Amino acid sequence: MAIEPKIEVSGLRKSFGPLHVLRDINLTVEPGGVVALIGPSGSGKSTLLRCLNLLVTPDRGSIRIGENRFSFGPGTSPLSKYKLAGFRANTGMVFQHFNLFPHLSVIGNITEAPMTVRRMPKAQAEALAMELLTKVGLPDKARDFPSRLSGGQKQRVAIARALAMQPEVMLFDEATSALDPELVGEVLAVMRSLAHDGMTMVIVTHEMAFAREVADKVIFMRDGVIVEEGPANLVIDEPQNPATRAFLAHFH
Ligand code: ADP
Ligand code: MG
């Protein structure tokens, strides 16, 4: 029996005014699968990721993540706040610029959503936070404030914070792009271990060696269209489409 995909996107479209940013995107990710989204700046990668988290509302199409399904466009019902909150809680998002709460300690950052959204008792949320801080290699930073941390440490806290909602999928939007080169490795190591633990992930990245190593599937986007997709080593080492080849040439 075929395993049902964890993420299923079909016919997804999004425009900002006259600008067609996503044009008929279709995408599936298997449970435990890792997909790397690559492509030039402005190709729609962030918008696609934001649609998966419903930070951006698509114009058309449907998205299913686990048991949660939404359809968009004429004849579909508007998003209820309740369903939206449940959906967001199930998709952990990690951004380029960490977005930690500066007024909360590291452990405060991680326990905030489980306590407010999931109504988790404080002691339980803190135990979970410590477990996650250990997982990302920062158990001794629990009481520090974000301003005291390096970029790599902040990003690892942001990953722990997203994991604290126990999401079914994790979305990473250029999670290492704002880091000094010597700090990239520690964040990629955490992402790699998540992948090995079986987390379903969609990763927007410019780290081609990492994508090749960790992703099962690479998707190359340009101008809101999926131009090429396939097994990571094939797309990266032997791209078939001239646009994919031209893009990847920048990384060799
Ligand atoms: P990428 O992440 O691949 O660089 P984005 O998804 O961020 O691409 O952006 C794709 C296009 O959509 C760009 O031209 C960008 O300027 C435009 N865009 C993204 N978000 C908005 C928005 N909220 N309003 C208007 N235009 C936007
Ligand atoms: Mg982007």
Contact (Cβ atoms closer than 8 angstroms) between residue 94 and residue 172? yes
Distances (CA, A) of 236 to 46, 220, 225: 20, 10, 18
The rounded Cα 116 to chain-centroid distance in angstroms is 22
ipTM: 0.98
Kindly tell me if the per-residue pLDDT of 66 is higher than 80: yes
| Test site for ligand 1: of 12, 14, 21, most ligand atoms within 8 A of the Cβ | 21
Contact (Cβ atoms closer than 8 angstroms) between residue 11 and residue 24? yes
Give the C-alpha separation, 126 to 122, whole Å.
6
Nearest atom within ligand 1 for CA of residue 48: 6
Rounded to the nearest angstrom, the distance between the alpha carbon of 205 and the centre of ligand 1 is 16
Contact (Cβ atoms closer than 8 angstroms) between residue 197 and residue 144? no
Ligand nearest to the CA of 45: 1
Rounded to the nearest angstrom, the distance between the alpha carbon of 174 and the centre of ligand 2 is 7
What does the pLDDT read at residue 1? 60
The full DSSP string for 30-53 is -TT-EEEEE--TTSSHHHHHHHHT
pLDDT tens digit sequence for 101-160: 999 999 999 999 999 999 999 999 999 999 999 999 999 999 999 999 999 999 999 999
